[in-house]
Amino acid sequence: MIAKHKASKTNTKLLKFKDFSLELAYYSGSTVYDQWLQLLNDLGDYADFYWDMPQMQYDLVKSDKEWQKFLSHPERQPFKIRIKEWHAWSIEQLYQRTLEIIQLSVTLLRSAKTPKECHQKIKDSLATIVKGMVHSRYNKYEMELSDSYVGITPKMRAEGNMYVTETMKARFDYFISVAALESNRQPKEIHAKLLAACQNNLARLGEFFATCQFSDELKDIYSAYTKAAKRDMTMPTQNIVLGFTIWKELYEHGVDMDTYLELLGYPNADTVKKRLLKFASDKEVLKEIVTHFKNERPESYKTWKQKGEIPYMSIFQEEARIFKQPTKLRTDNETRAMIETCQQKISAYFPLSTEESPRQLIFNSIHPFAVKRAYQSQTKNHEMKSINITVMTPTTDSEHDYLETLAHETTHAIHSIILHRAAEFSVLTKEQADQVPTSVLEDFSQLVEGQFKSTAHSKNSTVKAKYFTSFMQALASWSQVPFSIVQLEIREKFEILLKKGVTELSSEFLEQLQFEYDMKLQKLWEGLLHFTRPSYTAFDWFMPLAPYDALVYMKRFIVLSKNKMATDKPTAKKKLSMNEALSHRFGVRWIASQDGRILLYWLLLETGRNHATEDFGDIILKKDTCECLEELQRIGISAQEFSQRT
């Protein structure tokens, strides 16, 4: 049975500023547009806080009591929007009002009367609001759906008392029975081997295959098991239904796919898809991926050349051998030791990252039910001061993966610290500090992450990297193409239905959608590289609350100055990427250069004024690092920050 969720009512009337007199009364300005922009900024900060904090409690498996204590700290008090009447409203009421604010904001973007200088500010604020309020409204519902599927109750969540439920065990046994039939094995054999791998804790089964070496036999058993599990479409279908509900609400309030992409700084959907496919089939890109593949995963490469294809899991199996990962799950003490080792390596380059305070924290949960994907949270407290929290995933990362991810998330944290210090010292405005696009933040996090890629696999590598620093980074980027296209096209299907007046998805539509996009996904995924992932379905790649996921990592291949993408053949002098320019000026290991890090920090500051990272290569080659340091010192970052490592 398909669960339904009650959608917000459509507001079909033409909204005007006078319809928001309650809200605008709390903001002052020389024009009503100034007041409106202040309202949007406030709403963006509100949305971020009430998205991130409940999500973080869930991800870290904290009880209500523990989380209330965490938020009770004077410097972590919740952000309060200025509109006092809103304080008594439910999240449903706030979300409905936000949809109306979004609707008028889109109208303002299309109006010739709106001052030109307001357009980009409205877009930047709307991008934050749409993402944040959708999550604030539906995060809890999505989490409850996920929990109910495996038998986790609200009471267990509230108490932080998580364990393997009878429902989990029953599903495990059922998927084993299906896998046994299809792989010609005995259910008892599969059951025993998988339980031995996860040390009788089903919550750690994925952890074993992410961090340990495993035999071909175990690889085949786990592949059969996951393939069987993926056939249960209960949760993926629920996600599609939820995604339709959300998209219906946005669509009816003026946000279609092209508008959504415009807010994020992308061209229209057709152009995005064309450029993604162009990237995926570009000869230079493919050549670089294959060269990395040959150098860094030689056994898998040999199999791929001989057979013309290779299972994705075989690549990870070889990675585990190359990096000499353990053959059994780490103990908690071993995981803690890994965390400490990696933090020392990162802090040697970035002392600023070690300055923990009530508003700057790193969480490293080793709970088996903790989140499996690291992220950086940036919110505001009741005094409008920045709260930066990094959530890491040490249990499902091998040491080299953890180091790279820590470098990535640390860069996000430092980026936020620098931007908000700049605002505090009036080097940037608050709006400049708050509205750096996510894609720009990702450009820098991926840039620094690349400097911490392990070279254990290819000490004599001669890969001339234009796009990627390693094979796994290349594969991760290339994988975003099918992910992005599924995200875009399913929502375009929604819009076709909405134009016809359809308000609810039928079972027939869902079945047709699944079949169509499973076929398309496999074709896209295998593509020109022929890496196979038979257990993945299209619905697995659909994020109901996050249409931007995947695309955010691909902006450099979609949007560049003069509307060119990175793989276009240049008609004039070739522009260097940031990594190419830094390597040219300071050496391949530019992160070890004090001047290189000074310039990096300054560029993080510069993103508050300039979002065109595609042009930063030229700046890197010419910018005086003494001038950079002078401006950094104006925001309280001294030369000592860069003298920790020589």
Q: Where are the domains of the chain?
A: 17-159, 166-230, 236-323+464-555, 332-450, 563-642
Tens of pLDDT, residue by residue over 164-219, are 999 999 999 999 999 999 899 999 999 999 999 999 999 999 999 999 999 999 99
Model confidence at 13, pLDDT cuts 50, 70, 90, reads low
The pLDDT, as a whole number, for residue 451 is 93
332-450 is classed CATH 1.10.10: no
The predicted structure's pLDDT at residue 166: 97
The dihedrals phi and psi of 637, each to the nearest 5 degrees, come to -105, 110
H or E element at residue 318 = helix 312-322
CA of 458: how far to CAs of 293, 317, 452, 551, 629, in Å?
Answer: 11, 17, 14, 30, 36
pLDDT band at 458 (very low <50, low <70, confident <90, very high): very low
d(Cα 28, Cα 36) in Å, to the nearest integer? 9
Give the tens place of pLDDT for each residue, 279-315. Answer: 999 999 999 999 999 999 999 999 999 998 899 899 9
Beta strands 386-392 and 375-380: pairing type? antiparallel
pLDDT tens, position by position, 577-620: 899 999 999 999 999 999 999 999 999 999 999 998 989 999 99
pLDDT of 461 higher than 60: no
Of 495, 510, 5, residue with least CA distance to 248: 495
Each as own residue / partner, the long-range contacts of residues 368-374 (CB below 8 Å, 24 or more positions apart, any chain) are 368/162, 368/201, 368/203, 368/204, 368/207, 368/395, 369/61, 369/162, 369/203, 370/59, 370/60, 370/61, 370/395, 371/58, 371/59, 371/60, 372/206, 372/396, 374/405, 374/408, 374/409
Q: How confident is the model at residue 356 (pLDDT cuts 50, 70, 90)?
A: confident
* pLDDT score, position 591: 95
Which candidate, 431, 380, 436, 432, places its Cα nearest to that of 412? 436
The pTM of the full predicted model, rounded to 2 decimals, is 0.88
Q: Taking the CB of residue 621, how many other CB atoms lie within 10 A of it?
A: 13
- As a whole number, mean pLDDT of residues 524-551 equals 85
- How confident is the model over 393-419, as a mean pLDDT? 94
- Give pLDDT, residue 462: 57
**Of 296, 471, 327, 320, the residue nearest 399 (C-alpha):** 320
